[in-house]
Amino acid sequence: MRYWLGVDTGGTFTDFVLLGGDAPRIHKVLSSPSAPEQAILRGIDEMGLSNALAAGELVIVHGTTVATNAALENKGARTVLVTNRGLEDVLLIGRQNRAELYNLTPSTTPTAMRSTPVESVAARLDAAGNTLVDLNAADIDDLVARVREHGAESVAITLLFSYLDGGHEQRLGEALRAAGLPVSLSCEVLPTRGEYERGTATWLNAWLAPRVSHYLRRLADSVSPSPLTIMQSNGGTLEAGNAAERAVNLLLSGPAGGLSAALHLGRELDQRRLMTFDMGGTSTDVALLDGDLRLTQSGHIGPYPVAVPMVDMHTIGAGGGSLARVDDAGLLHVGPQSAGADPGPACYGRGGEQTTVTDANVLLGRLQPEFALGGNLQLDIAAAHAAVARLAMRLGLSLEDAAHGVLDLANEHMSQALRVISIQKGFDPADFTLMSFGGAGGLHVCALADNLGMTRAVVPIRAGVLSAEGLVHAPRKREMIQALAADADTAALEAVAAALLERGRAELVAEGVSGADIDTTVSLDLCYQGQSSTLALPWHGDPDACEQAFHQQHQQRYGYRLALPVRRVNVRVRCQARAVSPAPTPLPGGSGERAWQARLPGLSMPVPVYRRDDLHADQRLAGPALIVEAVGTIYLAPGWQARVHSKGHLLLFR
C-alpha cells in the first residue's frame, strides 16, 4: 500500500494530510522552530505511520519555512560575494529606494548583506556579451586564496552580463568548488538583466543554501527509505537533493502549497477566478488566481528583493496568534507581532497572557469550548476571557466591544491585503470567489467578503490543513528563464526556448518522471522601449499576435497603451509533470442534524452548531451558524447561506 503525506510547517503548527487510504487523515502538532524535523517525525509517529515510513511506503511532500525563517532572522551562512572590480557596492546601493522619503538623516536597516565580505576580479564582458578583459589562471588562484581567508561557508558569484555568457562565472565556480566551497552562480540562479536583482538572488541562494541543505539532509536521512520531495515557491515540487541547492526558490515553499490546492479545487468546482486567503497562527497570505497560478519576479522577503519566479502572493502579519495592544495614545493595534507556538494565545493554556485574535473569537463564542484545536489541544476559556478583560480595561470598553474591535481591525488588515492583489492590479473582487483556508480562515471569511463587496466564497473540506493537502496535488515542475540579447530575432528566441525546454525536461526525467508525462509552455517577457517592468505573454510562434496581446494586457493592467516599439526581454519555459495523487473521496454524509446550540454575545437567538463530519451533500445552512471540525471553525455570519458540495466543500453565498 502506498500513501501520500503532505507536511506543511508553519510558525505555530505543523500540519499533516494523509491520502491514499480509505479516507483522508489529518493531524496537527505544535511546530519546533529550532529543529523542524522533530515536529515532523513526532507527527508521523502520532499518526501511526512509523512502519509505513520504514517500509518506504510514504511519499512525503514537504512545504518548509527553513529558508524563510533564516532570511527573516538573519541566520544565513557566512557568505563571500564575488563581483567585478569597481562594482563591489552595487548590492548595498541597490535601487536607492528609501523607506522615509523626506527624512534627511534616515536610519539604515541592519541586514546580513552589510557585513558580507566582497571580493572582485578584473574580468569584464560588455553589454553584448563580448569579452573586454579575460579571466586568467593567476586571477582565479588569487581569488580562491582571498575567499578562503574570510572563512567562507558559501560563495556567491555575480558578474556583469553573465546572463549572456556565463563562462567567467563557471570557471571561478569550478575553482572554488575544487577548494571545497559551495558556490552559487548568477548565470544559473537568475540569468536575467538587472545586476542588483540578479546579484541579490544569487547572494540569497548562497547565504541560505547551507542552512537549507543541512536541514533537508537531516530530514531525508530521518524519513529514508521513503521518498521526500519539496515544494518550490513557483507551485511545483522537486526532489529533496536538488532542492538543497535552490534555497532561494524555497522562500514561499509552504504558502505555495495552499495555492496549489486552490488551483486544484477551483478546477474541480469550475470556479477558476479565485481570491484566496490563508490565515494561520502567525500571518495571512493572500493571492489571486485567474485560471492558473500567477507568478511574479517582484517578490520580497524581509528587506531583500527576490526576483526568481514565485507565486504572486501578499503576506501580512495578521493571524490567529496576532497580538492586540493599546499604544500610549489609547489606540488599538493588532499584529504584526504574534504569540507564536509558545506560549501561543491565552486560550491555549500555555502561559500566554496577551490578547490575540483567537482569544477574541473565543470570547465571542465563535470558538466553542467543546472544540479541540488540532484534535488534541483543549481551549482554556477562562484564560481567554482574562486576556480580553485586561485589554478592555485599557480601552475603557466592555469585553464584547473590545473583542469586536480586535476582530474588526484584523479583518480590515486582511481586507486591505486582498485589495492590494485585486483592485490595485485592475481586478474587481466582485468578479471572483473568495476561497478561505488555514486554521483561522473560516472564522473571518464572511466578514472579508462583505468588506470587499463579494457575494461568493468557498471553505474547502479540511481547510485548516489545505496547504498540506495542496502539497500532495502539486506537480513536479521547472520554471526556466533566460534573458535575450538586445538584437535577438525570432530564430534566436526559438533557439533559447528549445535549449531551456531540453534542460527542463532532462531535469525532470532525472527525477524519475516519464518524458511522456511532461507538459511544456513557453512565454515571453515584453515591455515598451524605455520601460524596465515587463508583462509575460504566451508564445506560440507568432510575433505579431504576441505583440498585440501585450498591448491589450498593458491596457487592462495599467489603463493605457503606447505607440512605442515592443521589446522582447526574457524567454520563460515551464516544464511540468502531471501530478499523480489519490482520487478525492466522496463525502460519506451524516444526519445533517445540529450538534448543539450556543449563545453568542451580540446575537439575540441561540446559534446552531454543526459538526462538519455530520453534514451531507446538498445540505443547506443559514447563518448565523457555526460549523466545527478538528482543524478549524467556520462562522457563517447573518445574511450568509452555505450549500454542502458532494466532496464536502462549503459553498457560501450572500
Residue 581: pLDDT band by 50, 70, 90 thresholds? Answer: low
pLDDT of residue 372: 55
Cis amide prior to 343 (ω within 30 degrees): yes
Instruction: Decide if 74-207 and 476-577 have a common fold.
Output: no
Least confident of 338-342, 410-414, 424-428: 338-342
pLDDT of residue 371: 64
pLDDT of residue 591: 82
Least confident of 202-216, 420-434, 575-589, 610-624: 575-589
Cell of 58: 510514504
- Average per-residue pLDDT in the chain? 89
pLDDT of residue 69: 81
The conformation of residue 585, written as its DSSP 8-state character, comes to P
Cα 239 to Cα 250: distance, rounded to the nearest angstrom? 12
DSSP string, 106-155: PPPPP-GGGG--EEEE--EE-TTS-EEE---HHHHHHHHHHHHHTT-SEE
The CATH number of the structural domain formed by 74-207 is 3.40.50
pLDDT of residue 467: 86
Per-residue pLDDT tens digits for 183-194: 999 999 999 998
Q: Regarding predicted confidence, which is higher, 233 or 581?
A: 233
Per-residue pLDDT tens digits for 296-336: 888 888 788 898 988 888 888 788 888 999 998 889 999 88
pLDDT of residue 22: 74
Q: Is residue 373 over pLDDT 80?
A: no
Question: What Cα–Cα distance (Å) separates residue 185 from each residue in 321, 410, 502?
Answer: 39, 42, 20
Domain ranges of the chain: 74-207, 322-409, 476-577, 596-653
Cα 193 to Cα 187: distance, rounded to the nearest angstrom? 10
Pick the CATH number of 476-577 from 3.90.1210, 2.20.25, 1.25.40, 3.30.1490: 3.30.1490
pLDDT of residue 481: 94
| CB within 8 Å of 561: residues ≥ 6 apart | 551, 552, 554, 555
Cα 383 to Cα 379: distance, rounded to the nearest angstrom? 9
